[in-house]
Structure 1
Amino acid sequence: MIINNKRALIAWNGLQIILGAFIYAVAITDFLIPHQIGEGGVTGLTTIGYYALNIPPALTNIVANGILILIGFRFLDRQTVGYSLWAVIWISIFLKLPRLLNYHTTQTIIPAIAGGVLMGIAIGVIFRGGGTIAGSTILAKIMNRYFGMMTGSAMLFFDLIVAIPSGFIIGFQNMLLTIVELYVGAAVLNRFLSKFGARKAVTIITNQTEEITYELSQRLKQGITIINAKGYYHQEKQPMIYVICTNKQAAQLVPLISEIDPTAVVVVDDVHSVKGESIGKIL
């Protein structure tokens, strides 16, 4: 979704973060804590504090994340820090609400996987809104910005630092389930972010350049790039057509190209961003 009005964009991002915070809180209160499955980062500390000292998760969340948000001021832009604070506030609010599903099972691998999936989706939604959940995500954002590490993978690294020692409190089996949950969450997050802004890049080499370009322009109603290329073997100049489109459009264009020129060479690639401002959200 493209929103040009600044206030509308801020409101839309804020709503996305609220939705992500709600999903995140459901994962903790309905899947992790009832089955004594830990977490990483600050969330891991909240569950350990709850299991060992009966400290309310909302209190641990707001205090510990507040400290890490102050660190974020040093390394991240003010907008990201502001949105992160907004996320932490709403997560703390939702953590204080009664459980939504009251789900319980003796098959503890189920809540571990379900919690990981919900965690990955929740953090992905919050990232799309321009924020973080503070904690290890702030550290992961810093690693992503300065060292190029994928955000989900960086989060997994920092989360394991907390999750593995938690075995002394929640037990070895639950520690293993925690690692499963963290891995699933990181995999879902990486997948979620890679789909943000996903498009197809179609490159066409044909002797019917003008006709195909005209038909594509009529069909797509958007800009098309002509690249001046030269074949090395025959040393002949051969223009290439380059266009970025959606998956649905690509499925329609390939048969059209084949109809005009059955001998055309068509290369379809996945691309993840078509605007520079989106790059930070997909890594």
Structure 2
Amino acid sequence: MIKKGLNKINFENIKILMTPRITLQTLLNIAAVILGAFLFSIGVNQFMIPGNLGDGGVSGLAIIILYAFDISPAISTLVLNGILLVIGFKFLSRRGMYYTIFAVIMMSIFLGITDSFVIQTDEIMLNVIFGGLFLGLGNGLVIRIGATTAGSAILGRIVNKYTDIKIANAILVFDLMVITIGLTVLTIEQVLLTVVAMYINVKVMDFMIEGMNPKKAITIVSQKPEVLGKLINSEIGRGVTMMNGKGFYSREENDILYVVINKSKLTRLKRLIKHYDENAFVVVNDVNSVLGNSIA
């Protein structure tokens, strides 16, 4: 009886462990991938291709193949991304790869669906600006959750993993290489306009990945650290970390305050510091991400 009971418990435990858990964050990530793939497809089908422009990465190669052999980007992107997924599987996290595979499939589906959508415009700069905007929004949404739209984005994440180069900058280098190949089917003018669209793409993507967190890290060197620390606690409502420091030239020891605040409170904090210590040395840094609660 006891043995049977233990076996039953073990079996139930294994069953629980094997049951997949779908959290709210997982659903939000899936929604971000779907929206990102859709926006990316809109950028390609409704702005880049109608403007006879190119693109970077796999989508750029797909557009070149379209111009040269009239093969749909929905098909060529799926094939080319499949090859890169095999390479990226060795370098990227398993979780990120699963999302990337899903993103590749959704992107190919949306490239096929949105192929029939028509946005008429006679102004090429509208294609350049909005093409770059939609590509950047789509790429940024997908990369922000730890996935990619494959293509040069996979190569960009690999470079970012082993170097200090930003993902967006690494992608730009790979994309420019594809644009060079595009000279076989595009004019110099079309290539230059494509470079402008790619620049917009990178800037929007960079903002989506790193600039959506409205946090600022403030380092304060003051002769009144106790006063400022209490005021930041009470007036700004943030915890403060106090660190020991020493001046290199004067050799005087000073307490250094470190606090992370919302960007909206930065001006208020600067006024507070200036009012109580005009000689305080203040450094403001951008923060890409913040985990946990305020530091006390």
**TM, length-normalised to structure 2:** 0.82
CA distance in 2: counterparts of 1:83 and 1:172, whole angstroms: 37
CA distance in 1: counterparts of 2:194 and 2:72, whole angstroms: 20
Deviation at 1:219, TM superposition (A): 3.3
Q: Which residue in 1 is equivalent to 2:285? A: 270
Deviating above 6 A after TM superposition, structure 1's stretches of 4 or more consecutive aligned residues are: none
Deviation at 1:220, TM superposition (A): 4.0
Q: Which residue in 2 is equivalent to 1:83? A: 99
Matched, 1:43 2:59: yes
Report if aligned partners of 2:144, 2:208 keep a CA contact under 8 Å in 1. Answer: no
Instruction: Pick which of 32-41 and 170-179 moved more.
Output: 170-179
Report if aligned partners of 1:25, 1:94 keep a CA contact under 8 Å in 2. Answer: yes
Where does structure 1 lack aligned partners over 5 or more consecutive residues?
278-283
Change in CA separation of 1:276 and 1:98 when aligned onto 2, cut-off 3 Å:
closer
Deviation at 1:100, TM superposition (A): 8.1
Change in CA separation of 1:207 and 1:154 when aligned onto 2, cut-off 3 Å:
closer
- % same residue: 32
Q: Which residue in 2 is equivalent to 1:237? A: 253
Once the two structures are superposed, what CA deviation does each residue of 1:219-268 show, in whole Å capped at 9, x if it has no partner? 34442111222345554433222211111122222222333x14341414
CA distance in 1: counterparts of 2:159 and 2:245, whole angstroms: 39
Q: Which residue in 1 is equivalent to 2:175? A: 159
Residue type of the partner of 1:241? L
Report if aligned partners of 2:52, 2:190 keep a CA contact under 8 Å in 1. Answer: yes
Residue type of the partner of 1:23? L
Residue type of the partner of 2:270? V
Q: Which residue in 2 is equivalent to 1:23? A: 39
2:244 aligned to which of 208, 228, 240: 228
Query: Partner of 1:228: helix, strand, or coil?
Result: strand
Report if aligned partners of 2:210, 2:288 keep a CA contact under 8 Å in 1. Answer: no
Report if aligned partners of 1:121, 1:189 keep a CA contact under 8 Å in 2. Answer: yes
1:62-141 matched pairs, under 5 angstroms: 62-98=78-114, 102-141=118-157
User: Which structure would you say has the larger Rg?
Assistant: 2
Where does structure 2 lack aligned partners over 5 or more consecutive residues?
1-20
Instruction: Pick which of 58-67 and 234-243 moved more.
Output: 234-243
Once the two structures are superposed, what CA deviation does each residue of 1:120-157 show, in whole Å capped at 9, x if it has no partner? 22211111121101011111111111233221221122
CA distance in 2: counterparts of 1:152 and 1:178, whole angstroms: 16
Report if aligned partners of 1:224, 1:241 keep a CA contact under 8 Å in 2. Answer: yes
Report if aligned partners of 2:245, 2:255 keep a CA contact under 8 Å in 1. Answer: yes
Once the two structures are superposed, what CA deviation does each residue of 1:43-71 show, in whole Å capped at 9, x if it has no partner? 01221222222222211121211111111
Deviation at 1:40, TM superposition (A): 1.6
**TM, length-normalised to structure 1:** 0.86
Q: Which residue in 2 is equivalent to 1:179? A: 195
Report if aligned partners of 2:223, 2:280 keep a CA contact under 8 Å in 1. Answer: no
Query: Partner of 1:140: helix, strand, or coil?
Result: helix
Change in CA separation of 1:190 and 1:217 when aligned onto 2, cut-off 3 Å:
same
CA distance in 2: counterparts of 1:85 and 1:269, whole angstroms: 39
Change in CA separation of 1:262 and 1:222 when aligned onto 2, cut-off 3 Å:
closer
